[in-house]
Amino acid sequence: MASENLTASSYIQHHLQNLTYGQHPDGTWGIAHGAEEAAAMGFWAIHLDTMLFSIGLGILFLWLFRKAAKKVSVDTPSGLQNFVELMVEFVDQSVKETFHGKNKVIAPLALTIFVWVFLMNTMDLVPVDFLPHLASLLGVPYFRVVPTTDLNATLGMSISVFILIIYYSIKVKGVSGFVGELTLQPFGKWMIPFNLLLEGVGLLAKPVSLALRLFGNLYAGELIFILIAILPWGIQWALSVPWAIFHILVIVLQAFIFMMLTIVYLSMAHEDH
Find out whether 215 and 149 touch, Cβ atoms under 8 Å: yes
Sequence-distant (6+) residues with CB within 8 A of 110 are 91, 94, 95, 259, 262, 263
Question: Residue 58: what residue type?
Answer: G
For the question of residue 213 being annotated catalytic, the response is yes
Catalytic residue among 18, 94, 169, 217: 217
Catalytic residue among 3, 103, 136, 213: 213
For the question of residue 209 being annotated catalytic, the response is yes
9 burial (CB, 10 Å; 0-12 / 13-18 / 19+) is exposed
Distance from C-alpha of 26 to C-alpha of 138, rounded to nearest angstrom = 26
For the question of residue 103 being annotated catalytic, the response is no
Q: How many residues does the chain have?
A: 273
Catalytic residue among 5, 209, 240, 267: 209
Sequence-distant (6+) residues with CB within 8 A of 129 are 1, 2, 3, 229
Residues known to be catalytic: 209, 213, 217
